[in-house]
Chains A and B, each alone.
Chain A
Amino acid sequence: NAGVTQTPKFQVLKTGQSMTLQCAQDMNHEYMSWYRQDPGMGLRLIYYSASEGTTDKGEVPNGYNVSRLNKREFSLRLESAAPSQTSVYFCASSRTGEGSPLHFGNGTRLTVT
């Protein structure tokens, strides 16, 4: 039981390049989400998916798109990377969208030069 798995662990992009961050969970969770973590700012919600087939914007969605491919997988795409998107990205899932704790992956460290 791996929990939440994120790939890649590290990535360096040039400004304007695109990439997709992958996330998969094996806990049969309904709810999945993407956060970014910047120094001194805690974690901020980018997008979430309350169930398979649905996605919604969080606090900081600009510059990102998401796909809930199936119940297990939730990907985050940067279409045209900018230096302001340099951050650590975390995927998290929970059993439901109501009152159950989020389980986090170990993050993807992205640098945009």
Chain B
Amino acid sequence: GESVGLHLPTLSVQEGDNSIINCAYSNSASDYFIWYKQESGKGPQFIIDIRSNMDKRQGQRVTVLLNKTVKHLSLQIAATQPGDSAVYFCAENITPPGSARQLTFGSGTQLTVLP
């Protein structure tokens, strides 16, 4: 079936460096994508989203890039800080005909920021 996946399960970066977290999706009908951050013991926290009619969107220290040709999504975090250490999930939105939106999540990438 369709799936959302991540290239790397873990990522370690030095404090102050930029981080790039990648995500592959397989459903060409997906029209909306979201990145979430999840800290230990908490629920996922919304970071940034992008619609399929865009290829780039920037937030505060974060940028999401969407490449529909190769079905690839990435999250870039600038000047990574210790507080960025968490698990990051990408999610894709599919709205089947006659149904409400369903959000499908990848398995997550653990980002560790090294001092």
Q: Which A positions have Cβ atoms within 8 angstroms of B?
A: 4, 31, 33, 35, 40-45, 48, 50, 56, 58-59, 90, 92, 97-99, 101-107
Chain B residues with Cβ below 8 Å from A59 are 102, 104
Q: Which B positions have Cβ atoms within 8 angstroms of A?
A: 4, 31-32, 34, 36, 41-46, 49, 51, 89, 93, 95, 99-108
Asked if B44 and A104 sit within 8 Å, CB to CB, the answer is yes
Q: How far is the CB of A38 from chain B (nearest CB, A)?
A: 10
Chain A residues with Cβ below 8 Å from B101 are 31, 50, 97-99
Q: Once the chains are docked, how many angstroms separate the CA of A45 from the CA of B51?
A: 21
Q: Given A40-B107, A42-B89, is A97 in contact with B43 using a C-beta cutoff of 8 Å? A: no
Q: Once the chains are docked, how many angstroms separate the CA of A50 from the CA of B36?
A: 21
Asked if A58 and B102 sit within 8 Å, CB to CB, the answer is yes
Asked if B100 and A43 sit within 8 Å, CB to CB, the answer is no
Apart from A43-B89, A97-B100, what are 5 other A-B pairs with CB-CB below 8 Å?
Answer: A45-B104, A48-B100, A98-B95, A99-B101, A101-B46
Asked if B32 and A48 sit within 8 Å, CB to CB, the answer is no
Chain B residues with Cβ below 8 Å from A35 are 105
- Contacting residue for B46 out of A42, A45, A98, A102, CB 8 A: A102
Q: Given A48-B100, A97-B101, A102-B103, is A90 in contact with B43 using a C-beta cutoff of 8 Å? A: yes
Q: How far is the CB of B37 from chain A (nearest CB, A)?
A: 11
What residue in chain A is nearest B52 (Cβ atoms)? A99
Q: Once the chains are docked, how many angstroms separate the CA of A41 from the CA of B101?
A: 20
Can you report 22 residue pairs joining A to B where beta carbons are below 8 Å apart?
Answer: A4-B43, A31-B100, A31-B101, A35-B105, A42-B4, A43-B44, A43-B89, A45-B102, A45-B104, A48-B100, A58-B102, A90-B43, A90-B44, A97-B95, A98-B101, A99-B32, A99-B51, A101-B46, A101-B49, A102-B34, A102-B44, A105-B43
